[in-house]
């Protein structure tokens, strides 16, 4: 039989936007010392809009840069892809066909378009191939920038921005007030990670983290004696959600994240994580 206090708390949790899939994890929520947050889609809405796009080549127009990038992104479900496709639709661009599509995990995508090799990649990828990031592409505001390579030559860039969820700041504050450290873990570049984590007053961030490295970062924190909860929404976050002592999935995220998580934030509201810890404390104090 389910103890009455747990049954009541489960109902209270549901009312507060928490779907508890693993009761042991809920019971352990009071032990959390560090909360690791994915950025895109978790602390932010993950709804990217294109803010700028430019050609960096005499050969190609900025419209061409956006249209070949869109040809590739039609094969991707990344929030960046969704933003680029929306912009191309708004502009009614004609989009060429892409062939031999390939995802470069955590770094971008590549395909052939009209006989040319096209890549849409992260700043980290450019650094790896020793291509300096052009002045034009660096920005004053918080933008996620992806670069378009045509036949392996840097030919343009697309800048996008999404928005911090309005509830994120209060969520971080409440967690900190309850003695929980908050850390951001993201595949996005360090400039964006630094700005957003500072804006939210978080204790730290890890940027340009590849999907398989997200899990390693959780392990590192655990080895330092932290009791770690991880909140994320993406396919990329699933291994880290599984590794964490408590995995929390954002409801609006991917099915894989939800299936891996112990707890689901039904309303995609990071504030509900703070409620989770407070409920956990209240519930199991009563039982002892
Ligand atoms: P996160 O979900 O934490 O933002 P990802 O691992 O999904 O991290 O992506 C990391 C980076 O790789 C992105 O910020 C972007 O620069 C690049 N990237 C990944 N997928 C795509 C894509 N479909 N189009 C363009 N860039 C991409
Ligand atoms: Mg994400």
Name residues contacting ligand 1 (CB within 6 A): 38-40, 73, 76, 78, 80-81, 106-109, 120, 122, 144, 146, 186-188, 211, 234, 236
Burial 216-236 (b: 16+ CB within 10 A, else e): ebbeebeeeebbbbbbbbbbb
CATH topology identical between 4-45+165-287 and 49-161:
no
Q: What count of other Cβ atoms lies within 10 Å of the Cβ of residue 139?
A: 15
Task: Name which residue sits closest to atom 22 of ligand 1, judged by CA.
Answer: 108
| DSSP assignment string, 114-129 | TTEEEEEE-HHHHHHT
> Cα(37)–Cα(229) distance, rounded to whole angstroms?
9
Do residues 127 and 145 touch, judged by C-beta distance below 8 A? no
Mutate to test the pocket of ligand 1, among 122, 159, 208, 238 (most ligand atoms within 8 A of CB): 122
φ, ψ for residue 151 (rounded to 5)?
A: 45, 50
**Statement: residue 11 has pLDDT above 60:** yes
Query: Taking ligand 2, which is a single-atom ion, which protein residues have CB atoms under 5 Å away?
Result: 38, 40-41, 233-234
Domains of the chain by residue range:
4-45+165-287, 49-161
Each residue's pLDDT tens digit, 46-81: 899 999 999 999 999 999 999 999 999 999 988 999
Q: Name the closest ligand to CA 83.
A: 1
Burial level of 202, CB count in 10 A (0-12/13-18/19+)?
Answer: buried
How many angstroms separate the alpha carbon of residue 125 from the centre of ligand 1?
Answer: 11
CATH architecture of the domain formed by 4-45+165-287: 3-Layer(aba) Sandwich (3.40)
Lowest mean pLDDT among 15-19, 118-122, 140-144, 158-162: 140-144
Task: Name which residue sits closest to atom 16 of ligand 1, judged by CA.
Answer: 122
Helix, strand or coil for residue 181? strand
Each residue's pLDDT tens digit, 229-240: 999 998 889 999
CATH number for region 49-161: 3.40.1110.10
How many angstroms separate the alpha carbon of residue 129 from the centre of ligand 1?
Answer: 17
- Global ipTM: 0.94
Active site residues per annotation: 38
Could you identify the atom of ligand 1 that is nearest to the CA of residue 81?
23
Each residue's pLDDT tens digit, 116-139: 999 999 999 999 999 998 888 887
Each residue's pLDDT tens digit, 80-120: 999 999 999 999 999 999 999 999 988 999 999 999 999 99
Helix, strand or coil for residue 235? helix
CA distances from 273 to 18, 113, 178, 246, 253 (A): 8, 44, 12, 11, 16
Burial level of 160, CB count in 10 A (0-12/13-18/19+)?
Answer: buried
Q: Which residues does 226 contact at the CB level (< 8 Å), separation at least 6?
A: 33, 34, 181
Question: Strands 246-250, 263-265: parallel, antiparallel or unpaired by DSSP?
Answer: parallel
Nearest CA among 207, 196, 87, 184 for reference residue 141: 196
Q: ∠ CA 208-213-219 to the nearest 5 degrees?
A: 130
How many angstroms separate the alpha carbon of residue 278 from the centre of ligand 1?
Answer: 34
């Amino acid at each position: 039989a389910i103890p009455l206090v747990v049954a009541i708390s489960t109902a209270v949790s549901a009312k507060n936007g928490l779907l508890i899939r693993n009761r042991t994890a809920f019971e352990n929520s009071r032990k959390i010392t560090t909360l690791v947050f994915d950025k895109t889609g978790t602390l932010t809405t993950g709804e990217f809009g294109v803010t700028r796009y430019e050609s960096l080549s005499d050969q190609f127009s900025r419209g061409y840069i956006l249209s070949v990038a869109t040809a590739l992104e039609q094969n991707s479900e990344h929030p960046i892809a969704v933003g680029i496709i929306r912009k191309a639709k708004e502009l009614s661009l004609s989009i060429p066909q892409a062939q031999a599509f390939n995802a470069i995990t955590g770094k971008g995508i590549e395909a052939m378009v009209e006989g040319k090799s096209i890549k849409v990649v992260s700043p980290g990828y450019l650094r790896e191939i020793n291509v300096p990031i052009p002045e034009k592409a660096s920005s004053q505001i918080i933008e996620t920038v992806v670069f378009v390579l045509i036949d392996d030559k840097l030919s343009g860039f697309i800048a996008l921005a999404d928005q911090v969820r309005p509830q994120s700041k209060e969520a971080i504050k409440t967690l900190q007030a309850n003695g929980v450290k908050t850390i951001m873990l993201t595949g996005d570049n360090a400039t964006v990670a630094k700005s957003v984590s500072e804006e939210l007053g978080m204790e730290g961030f890890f940027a340009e983290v590849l999907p398989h490295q997200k899990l390693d970062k959780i392990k590192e924190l655990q080895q330092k004696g932290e009791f770690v909860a991880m909140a994320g929404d993406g396919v990329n976050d699933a291994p880290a959600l599984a590794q964490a002592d408590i995995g929390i999935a954002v409801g609006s995220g991917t099915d894989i994240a939800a299936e891996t998580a112990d707890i689901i934030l039904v309303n995609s509201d990071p504030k509900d994580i703070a409620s989770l810890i407070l409920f956990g404390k209240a519930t199991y104090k009563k039982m002892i």
